[in-house]
């Protein structure tokens, strides 16, 4: 989606919830907000920031229609696979038990 499409879609949602506003007023608010960004700012960053700003300003959720990303649906690896193998290998310099910390869980090997 381009920035203009996102602006148009966001304004439409805002006008559904706030019929006392006009399209021009909300578009002017969006334009004024977008002026604060430098030219090299990515369009995706502008879109996310604008949605967040309008969501707080009008107290609505503009991210509700977005599809979840693939990483959120399928975890990339199990928690056990995320532990580096070096923690499971014996080291010759120590002759005592090792303690591995796993997210608020202590395991003794």
Give me the residue spans of the domains in the chain: 3-58, 77-108
- Kindly give the residue spans of alpha helices, DSSP state H, lying in the chain: 3-17, 23-34, 43-58, 70-73
Q: How many CB atoms neighbour CB 51 within 10 A?
A: 19
Per-residue pLDDT at 105: 58
Nearest-5° angle of CA 41, CA 42, CA 46? 85
The Cα-based distances of 30 to 7, 80, 88 in angstroms read 7, 46, 54
- For 20-51, what is each residue's pLDDT tens digit? 989 999 999 999 999 998 888 899 999 899 98
Query: Reduced to 3 states, what is the DSSP secondary structure of residue 106?
Result: strand
Residue 98 has pLDDT above 60, yes or no: no
């Amino acid at each position: 989606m381009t920035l203009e499409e996102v602006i148009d879609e966001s304004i439409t949602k805002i006008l559904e919830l706030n019929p006392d506003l006009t399209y021009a007023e909300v578009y002017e608010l969006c334009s004024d907000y977008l002026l604060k960004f430098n030219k090299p700012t990515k369009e995706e960053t502008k879109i996310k920031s604008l949605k967040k700003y309008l969501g707080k300003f009008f107290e609505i959720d503009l991210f509700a229609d977005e599809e979840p990303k693939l990483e959120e649906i399928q975890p990339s690896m199990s928690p056990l696979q995320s532990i580096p193998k070096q923690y499971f290998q014996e080291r010759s310099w120590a002759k005592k038990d090792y303690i591995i910390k796993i997210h608020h869980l202590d395991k003794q090997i």
